[in-house]
Amino acid sequence: MFTIHILNVKDWFNFLNEFAAFLKSDEFLKASRFSEVNLKMRFHGTLLLDVDGVKSVGDFEYWDIYGDGAPIGYLEVAYMDQHFFALSVEAIDALLSDDELKDFMLSGASWASPVAPISLSLTFNVSDDVKRLIGNFVS
0.85 exceeded by pTM: no
Query: Regarding beta strands 112-114 and 2-6, do their DSSP bridges make them parallel or antiparallel, or are they unpaired?
Result: unpaired
**pLDDT tens by residue, 93-131:** 655 666 766 666 666 556 677 777 899 999 988 999 999
Q: Are 122 and 65 in contact (CB under 8 A)?
A: yes
Helix, strand and coil content of the chain, in percent to the nearest 5, comes to 35, 40, 25
**pLDDT tens by residue, 24-81:** 999 999 999 999 999 999 988 877 767 667 666 678 899 999 999 999 999 999 887 6
Cα separation, 39 vs 118, in Å, equals 15
Beta-strand ranges (E) seen in the chain are: 2-6, 37-51, 54-67, 70-81, 112-114, 118-122
State the residue range of the domain holding 48: 2-138
Number of domains in the chain: 1
